[in-house]
Chain A
Amino acid sequence: MIVQVNNLTKTYLRHDGYINAVDNLTLDIPKGSFVTITGASGSGKTTLLLILGGLLRPTSGKMFYDGKEIDLHDEDELAKFRSNHVGFVMQSFALIPYLTAVENIMIALNVKNSNKSTIRKRANELLKWVGLEDRTTHYPKELSAGQQQRVAIARALANNPDLLLADEPTGNLDPSLSEEILSILKEINQKHNTTVVMVTHSPMAAEYGNTRIHLNKGKILSD
């Protein structure tokens, strides 16, 4: 198991009262699996993904990474966990507008390395891997949606994460581009044995998963 969560609950206070976005959820994610999470809007998919990536602290529950418990209250430990083990891909790409494609990747490498030329070399390799070697000095607004998402994937892979978390990575893309992105994710999962957890609305995308989770009101409905 790469990640385990036990009795995870995340309670939000909304104007209409408390809501358990994730409700007493227990889940094991096997190493090297491709997990897809589906569910209606507001069922807690994003909330769960954020907790798994160490971006959001649950209200209660425990989380283990590679069998070791993560102290969810230690800011430092969480930041380290994110930069050492987790890569994120978001529906909105989350690229920094004033940085070029290669620089957007370099900022992620920057957290752990200091040698500028090594960083640049690695960033260029990653861009090449996602097929954007001729777009390195383009700014996000000069790239198509599919290209932006590939930059975001390259950035997510920058620090060789063991866990790649993707929140509706194809939500902003048309079907043929979606397939392109999904096959890149599949390749990452198969070739590098990276565990992928992907939230999606699309049944077609969900087909890519070998472990499928359906959420309803913060609880797992079926596997």
Chain B
Amino acid sequence: MRLIDLTLKELWHRKSQLISGLLAITLGIGVIVGIRSISVVSEKAVAVNLDNLGANILVLPQAASVDNYYSADIDAPTFPESYVEKVVTSSLPGVDNMSPKLTRRMKIGNENIVLTGVLPKSEIASKPIWQTGGFLGNQINASCAPTTDDQPTKYLDEKLQRKGIDTLAGYDCFVGSSVAKKLNLKEKSTLTITTEKFTVVRILPETGTVDDDRVFANLHSVQALLGTGEQISAIEIMGCCRAISDGLLGKLRNILPDTRITTIGQIVSTQIETNRLMDKISLVFLIIILFVGSISIGNYIWANVNERRKEIGILRMIGYHKRHIYYILILKAVIIGIVGGFAGFVLGTLSAFWLGPQFAGIHVNPIYSLLLVSIVISVSISIIGSIIPAYMAGKIEPFSNMQED
């Protein structure tokens, strides 16, 4: 019967109290871990986005949100495909490689995918990450758009050059890496989307963005499949940087008045802002949790000490010293801290895992280093909260069990 056994038995004996005692700390740690997990991935996504930007102007329907560039076209309303023509016929200087897209979130079996209809050549040409080294006959410099097809430019990063295909036949498709993994697809596999069979011609390399969940197919097949008619949900435009600073956006807005036009720069900086805000929120939360958590644990231990006056009196009577009583209570606080930190980590990670894709359009993976941080914070909180109750418990007289019942 070591003191740890005594402590564990007591905890187990009063399970329901323990759960309510754990609640505040678990929720608190959960919130911090959740925010942290999302913002870490989101920060990474910004970095990846900046690396992989193919297009730098995005045309969306007026009502669409643009919190995240890579998912901006998902669940957005649509506008007519003819808008592409409007821009082409206006022959604005500095506009290259427009890529219309139509996107829908769908389920194949139990897996969520994002079906994206693209016009192959232009889609590929505006995305350096899938850029072919010579297949299309042109190469694109990611930092600024090329001007013509026959003017080859060089990649800054050779690693970004990957094999691609310049055409996407009627029922061929490209699948993102995570779709391929989830649905167990290989090149030449057949993928049935609602009623149509598509042939996988290529598995795209992992990008760390929503693109990994996408299935790219020919825009017109997707339009037919979804029955949308000639509608699209976004146009990605590769605009020359100079042209953008010369007011290209304003000119595009004149041509397409009922759309929302943003540059990647704006989107990315919005996201960076969001991340900063998340960091601030998690700091504020941390401070709140430190207070609320300590007070709530303190309150719990205090109630526990009062309930245990008799037991503590018994222990003192049979020779336990004050320091044994402190030890028992602090040990209890440490156990609660470890359990609360662990539960909070699991709760936060699971909610981020579940909420991340829903609200931020990003995949969240567990950040195991946060487990240690959670436990350290949680244990500190509960020790801080227990100091006063433990001190008061030390004052309980050894005979207090005899004054009662």
Residues of chain A whose beta carbon lies under 8 Å from any beta carbon of chain B: 46, 50, 53, 55-56, 75-76, 79-80, 82-84, 88, 90-92, 94-99, 103, 106-112, 116, 119, 155, 158-159, 167
Q: B402 near A46 (CB under 8 angstroms)?
A: yes
Q: B320 near A79 (CB under 8 angstroms)?
A: yes
Closest to B324 in A: A111
Q: B1 near A119 (CB under 8 angstroms)?
A: yes
Report chain A residues within 8 Å CB of B224: none
A92 partner, pick from B13, B397, B402, beta carbons under 8 A: B402
Report chain A residues within 8 Å CB of B324: 111
Q: B402 near A79 (CB under 8 angstroms)?
A: no
Q: Among the listed stretches B2-10, B71-79, B330-338, which one makes contact with chain A, having 4 or more residues with CB under 8 Å of it?
A: B2-10
Q: B314 near A94 (CB under 8 angstroms)?
A: yes
Q: A111 near B319 (CB under 8 angstroms)?
A: yes
Q: B397 near A94 (CB under 8 angstroms)?
A: no
Minimal beta-carbon separation of A56 from chain B (angstroms) = 6
A79 partner, pick from B310, B311, B319, beta carbons under 8 A: B319
Chain B positions 1-60 with a Cβ under 8 Å from a chain A Cβ: 1-3, 5-6, 9-10, 12-13
Q: B13 near A50 (CB under 8 angstroms)?
A: no
Minimal beta-carbon separation of B191 from chain A (angstroms) = 59
Closest to B315 in A: A107
Question: Within 8 Å of chain A (Cβ to Cβ): is B127?
Answer: no
Question: Within 8 Å of chain A (Cβ to Cβ): is B284?
Answer: no
Give the docked Cα–Cα distance between A95 and B318 (Å).
Answer: 11
When A97-B13, A99-B9, A119-B1 are in contact, do A107 and B399 touch as well, CB less than 8 Å? no
Give the docked Cα–Cα distance between A80 and B402 (Å).
Answer: 21
Minimal beta-carbon separation of A120 from chain B (angstroms) = 8
Closest to A75 in B: B322
Minimal beta-carbon separation of B1 from chain A (angstroms) = 4
Give the docked Cα–Cα distance between A79 and B325 (Å).
Answer: 12
Report chain B residues within 8 Å CB of A167: 402
Chain B positions 387-405 with a Cβ under 8 Å from a chain A Cβ: 397-399, 401-402, 404-405
Question: Within 8 Å of chain A (Cβ to Cβ): is B317?
Answer: yes
Minimal beta-carbon separation of A215 from chain B (angstroms) = 17
Report chain B residues within 8 Å CB of A111: 318-320, 324
Q: A82 near B6 (CB under 8 angstroms)?
A: no
Report chain A residues within 8 Å CB of B3: 110
Q: How many residues of B contact A (CB 8 A)?
A: 29
Closest to A103 in B: B1
Q: Looking at chain B's contact residues, is the secondary structure mostly helix, strand, loop, or mixed? A: helix
B1, B324, B399: residue with the most chain A Cβ atoms closer than 10 Å: B1
Closest to A81 in B: B319
Can you identify 17 A-B contacts, CB atoms within 8 angstroms? A46-B402, A55-B316, A79-B316, A92-B401, A92-B402, A92-B404, A96-B311, A96-B314, A98-B9, A99-B6, A99-B9, A106-B1, A108-B318, A110-B1, A116-B1, A119-B1, A158-B318
Question: Within 8 Å of chain A (Cβ to Cβ): is B154?
Answer: no
When A76-B321, A92-B405, A96-B311 are in contact, do A107 and B6 touch as well, CB less than 8 Å? yes
Report chain B residues within 8 Å CB of A97: 13
Report chain A residues within 8 Å CB of B402: 46, 50, 90-92, 94, 167
When A56-B397, A92-B401 are in contact, do A98 and B318 touch as well, CB less than 8 Å? no
Minimal beta-carbon separation of A110 from chain B (angstroms) = 5
Q: Given contact pairs A90-B401, A110-B2, enumerate 8 new A-B contacts (beta carbons under 8 Å).
A: A53-B317, A55-B317, A75-B322, A92-B405, A94-B310, A96-B314, A103-B1, A116-B2
Q: B401 near A94 (CB under 8 angstroms)?
A: yes
Q: B319 near A83 (CB under 8 angstroms)?
A: yes
Report chain A residues within 8 Å CB of B322: 75, 79
Minimal beta-carbon separation of A87 from chain B (angstroms) = 8
When A98-B13, A99-B6 are in contact, do A108 and B319 touch as well, CB less than 8 Å? yes
Closest to B3 in A: A110
Report chain A residues within 8 Å CB of B321: 75-76, 79
Minimal beta-carbon separation of B274 from chain A (angstroms) = 50
Give the docked Cα–Cα distance between A76 and B13 (Å).
Answer: 30
Give the docked Cα–Cα distance between A119 and B9 (Å).
Answer: 18
Closest to B9 in A: A98
When A55-B398, A97-B13 are in contact, do A155 and B318 touch as well, CB less than 8 Å? yes
Q: B318 near A88 (CB under 8 angstroms)?
A: yes
Report chain B residues within 8 Å CB of A80: 319
Minimal beta-carbon separation of A45 from chain B (angstroms) = 11
Give the docked Cα–Cα distance between A76 and B321 (Å).
Answer: 7
Minimal beta-carbon separation of B175 from chain A (angstroms) = 58
Give the docked Cα–Cα distance between A155 and B319 (Å).
Answer: 12
Report chain B residues within 8 Å CB of A84: 319
Minimal beta-carbon separation of B14 from chain A (angstroms) = 8
Closest to A78 in B: B398
Closest to A85 in B: B319
Give the docked Cα–Cα distance between A50 and B404 (Å).
Answer: 15
